[in-house]
Homo-oligomer: A and B are copies of this chain.
Amino acid sequence: MSYSPLSVETLAARLGGVEAIVARLGRDVSQWRGREVGDGNLNLVFIVESEASAVVVKQALPYVRLVGESWPLPLKRSFFEYHALMRQEARDPGRVPKIYHFDEQQALVVMEYLHPHVILRRSLIAGVVHADLGEQLGRFLARTLFRGSDLSMPTSERKADLALFADNVALCDITEALVFTDPYWAAPLNRHTSPELDGLVAELRADVDLKIAAQDLKLTFCAHAETLLHGDFHTGSIMAHGAQARVIDPEFAVYGPFGFDVGMLIANFWMAYFAQGGHERFPGERDEYREWILGVAVTIWREFVAEFSRLWRTERTGILYPRALYEDQGHSLGAEQALGALLHRVWEDALGFAGVELHRRILGLAHIAEFETIADPARRAPCEAKALKLGRMLAVARNSLSDLAEIHAIARRLERGEIG
Contact = CB atoms under 8 A, between A and B. Distances in A.
Interface of A: 149-150, 155-156, 159-160, 162-164, 166-167, 169, 172-173, 176-177, 181, 184-185, 205-206, 208-209, 211-212, 214-216, 218-219, 222-226, 319-322, 324-326, 328-329, 331, 333-334, 337-338, 341-342
A325 B325 CA distance: 44
A165 B319 CA distance: 19
A216 B185 CA distance: 35
B219 A150 contact: yes
Given A150-B222, A159-B172, A176-B319, A211 B334 contact: yes
Contacts of A226: 219, 223
A334 B222 contact: no
Contact of A159 (B167, B326, B328, B337): B167
A73 to B, nearest CB: 14
A162 B163 contact: yes
Given A223-B225, A226-B219, A326 B211 contact: yes
B181 A322 contact: yes
Nearest to A154: B169
A223 B166 contact: no
Contacts of A149: 223
30 contacts: A149-B223, A150-B219, A150-B223, A155-B222, A159-B167, A159-B169, A159-B172, A162-B225, A163-B163, A163-B164, A163-B166, A176-B319, A177-B319, A181-B319, A205-B329, A206-B331, A208-B326, A212-B341, A215-B320, A215-B321, A215-B322, A215-B325, A215-B338, A216-B342, A219-B226, A219-B342, A222-B319, A222-B320, A224-B225, A225-B225
Nearest to A331: B208
